Amino acid sequence: MSIKYKTLSELKELLEKKDISSFELVEETFKNISSSKTNSFITLNEEVALTKAKEFDQGECEGDLAGLPIAQKDLFCTKNLRTTCGSRILENFIPPYNATVVENLSKAGSICVGKTNMDEFAMGSSNETSYFGAVKNPWDLERVPGGSSGGSAAAVAEGLVCAATGTDTGGSIRQPAALCGITGIKPTYGRASRWGMIAFASSLDQAGAFARNAEDCALLLNHICSHDEKDSTSLSNDKENYLENINNDLKGKKIGIVKEFDISNLSKEVQDSFEQSKKIFESLGANFVEVSMPNIKLSVPTYYVVAPAECSSNLSRFDGVKYGYRAENVNDLEDLYIKSRSEGFGDEVKRRILIGTYVLSAGFYDAYYKKAQQSRRMIKNDFVKAFSEVDVIMSPSSPSSAFKIGSKTEDPIEMYLEDLFTISSNLAGVPAMSIPHGFSKNLPIGLQLIGNYLEESEILNFAHQYQKNTDWHIRNPDFGDNS
């Protein structure tokens, strides 16, 4: 029995019926990973995973996700398992503890099969900045999977695992989900603990999930999201069951189309898919309302001041002294700092540290960082106003389908614009997700659904109803074994 392309829920049912053992499931997972050409994983956890699978089969492991193999993005700390952030500077770092998200999923019984490849320190939109090499898109091995969670997205899209964790700072779950033709969700900022999740931009980073459909994403969020006293930004709201309202009908629901999101310059296939998706939601009883968000055009420049500023602060801890890469043949302490960081960080990370240091400097703080924070508040207010009129907001997830590896690496600005539709929801802290809704030149494209604060259930409901009436989410890359 092939497990490739099966959903989390399908595998859960097979385990419950004892049609397959967890050991067989995990064993085949590693077999599939070994033959993959996408470079989705940095570190595998084979020995521990097979041992845990045996424990489940012997009845020693319980939980909602018991016996199910999943992958963890390689910036979640995993006890006794290498955590690199896709960087040379953490190439040999082995944490002594689990991130809260990892711990939550482990307590639910899931089995971590390995750590997925990613843009270095989550900085990138294509998964080309990893020290361990670029990840390739399963739909076309010459194209990017999106970033920074490209390894997780590619692993799910290729059918190596049924689910994986990711993080989203400016679109790093939704954009790779779109480019790889799967479902990915970023919850409200604070829903999932950031403890043990190595920081890029602390006020923007949020853990989330990749799966084959919205129902599986809801199941994962039930365990990923929790209050955590170790994280000062963690929300203390009551725990929710995200599957509870997933089958509600959409009659009378209002979907906002942002006036300032101009899609007329996008490809004909992207525009046609968007219009077709509108018709599907209308057939399910939803109504469309145009909303104006005049400050949303400030999202990209605002993000690329705030995120580098926070990055320059967070990455100052990597100095070659206590842990991580340490340069040799140094003359003094200052030389150690300079050489360790110069040799340990890649070009994109260095670029953002320099930008962040510049905008935080005494002479430019008011001109850049302060104004960016003011713009951020204006963007957030636009969302508050829009959600007083509509239930969800709908847009493309990405301006295009997957582009060729190396085609945008020489132009950082062009690369940054790949997050045009996703960045605003991180600045505002609202939940958002991407679902497959068509193809452009035989490559998948995604539809973004943005929800109001703490309304993950709402966008999951919209996504699930859409997927019950379409088949985009069950289409798979053709490797000659497409099932």
∠ CA 261-266-269, rounded to 5°: 120
Q: Which of 6, 12, 52, 73 is catalytic?
A: 73
Q: Residue 148 catalytic? A: yes
37, 158 Cβ separation under 8 angstroms: no
Per DSSP, the three-state class of 163 is strand
Measured CA to CA in angstroms, residue 470 lies from 100, 168, 277, 436, 474 at distances of 35, 26, 9, 10, 9
For β-strands 206-211 and 183-186, DSSP reports them as antiparallel
Rounded distance between C-alpha atoms, residue 329 and residue 432, angstroms: 48
Q: Which of 40, 148, 226, 398 is catalytic?
A: 148
Q: Output the CA torsion sign for 100, 103, 109, 111.
A: positive
Which amino acid type is present at position 222?
N
∠ CA 9-228-194, rounded to 5°: 75
What is the Cα 161 distance to its own chain's centre?
15
149, 176 Cβ separation under 8 angstroms: yes
H helix count then E strand count, the chain: 15, 11
Q: Residue 73 catalytic? A: yes
∠ CA 377-383-387, rounded to 5°: 150
Rounded distance between C-alpha atoms, residue 133 and residue 325, angstroms: 18
Q: Residue 172 catalytic? A: yes
Q: Which of 110, 126, 172, 273 is catalytic?
A: 172
Token reading at 162: 């049924």
Rounded distance between C-alpha atoms, residue 380 and residue 61, angstroms: 43
Tokens 């294509």 correspond to what residue? Answer: 126
Rounded distance between C-alpha atoms, residue 236 and residue 232, angstroms: 10
Q: DSSP readout, 125-148? A: SSS---TT----BTTBTTB---SS
Rounded (10°) CA dihedral 438, 441, 444, 446 = -60
Rounded distance between C-alpha atoms, residue 176 and residue 124, angstroms: 11
For β-strands 69-73 and 254-258, DSSP reports them as unpaired
Per DSSP, the three-state class of 448 is strand
What is the Cα 435 distance to its own chain's centre?
13
Q: DSSP label at 397?
A: S
**Hey, which residues are catalytic here?**
73, 148, 172
